[in-house]
Structure 1
Amino acid sequence: MKNTVTILMRVVFGVIFLAHGISKLQMGLGNVAGWFDSIGLPGFLAYVVAWIELIGGIMLILGLLTRYVSVLLIIVLVGAIFTAKLPSGLLGNGQSAGYELDLAYILIALYLAVAGSSGLSLDRVLFRKGEQS
């Protein structure tokens, strides 16, 4: 049962981040870079974050390098909290979202970073690991 839940968590988490990456591409990475600039971050980070979300989402769905991708996503999420969401508070301020969902995502990513891919994954096929007892 734990294995099934881990697989579901990894795949759904991957779909969520794949969607975030696609969304940034659809907005236009130049526009996202402009928004990053407007909040005091270097615009090139928009490209980095978008590709981490897009490729990382695909890798999570496939169960490829799950632990490493999860750590990268934790870094992205902590960055989002401290650069964009912290001023809005935990639940948001009515104009922008808070960081409660980011905290939940961090916990999911932390679990995956510790637990690994589990079961149906390319990690298990390629590296013969990921199965936890």
Structure 2
Amino acid sequence: MKNKQVIGALLLRVILGVIFIGHGAEKFQGGIGNIAGWFESIGLPGFLAYIVASIELVGGIAMLLGFATRIVGGLFVIVLLGAIVKVQFAAGFIGGYAYDLALVAMSAYFLLNGSQLYSLDNYISKTRNK
């Protein structure tokens, strides 16, 4: 049973990382200045676009590698809750925040549990304990 849980967590971590890499890369490729302008249009400081896009891209890479998964998971939860409250909630459940809510649950899992299988966190932990 334990092996199935660890493999399941690996699958969640890889998929979560890939999703966030995609979202962060899209913000930078599409013109981060445009995203900053959109942030301002919804009442958020434009500089937050750079922070969010960086968390998504760099955090996605870190999550994929299993590095600082608890910290990154927490950052993802904050970003996603902000997106749900500020943007997605108004669109309703199915057309709005359902997808982000699933990502919040996945991110919260890593905030609470970290990562084990094929993760830099696990490798670093093992080398420190030797």
1:122 aligns with 2:120: yes
Identity of aligned residues (%): 49
Superposed, which structure 2 residues align to 1:42-57 within 5 Å? 42-57=45-60
Match of 2:32 among 29, 52, 55: 29
State the Cα distance separating 1:113 from its structure 2 match. Answer: 1.3
SS at match of 2:93: coil
Work out the CA distance in 2 between the residues paired with 1:2 and 1:115.
Answer: 12
Q: 1:58-90: CA deviations, max 9, x gaps?
A: 000100000110000000000001111111111
In structure 1, runs of 5+ residues without a counterpart are 93-97
**Counterpart residue number, 2:99:** 101
Q: How many residues align?
A: 124
TM-score relative to the length of structure 2: 0.92
RMSD between superposed Cα atoms in Å: 1.1
Q: Which runs of 4+ in 1 moved over 4 A?
A: none
State the Cα distance separating 1:46 from its structure 2 match. Answer: 0.2
Superposed, which structure 2 residues align to 1:39-78 within 5 Å? 39-78=42-81
Q: Which has the higher helix share?
A: 2
Mean CA deviation greater in 106-115 or 51-60: 106-115
Q: 1:26-47: CA deviations, max 9, x gaps?
A: 1111000000011111000000
1:18 aligns with 2:16: no
- Amino acid across the alignment from 1:114: L
Work out the CA distance in 2 between the residues paired with 1:128 and 1:9.
Answer: 22
**Counterpart residue number, 1:95:** none
In structure 2, runs of 5+ residues without a counterpart are none
**Counterpart residue number, 1:90:** 93
TM-score relative to the length of structure 1: 0.90
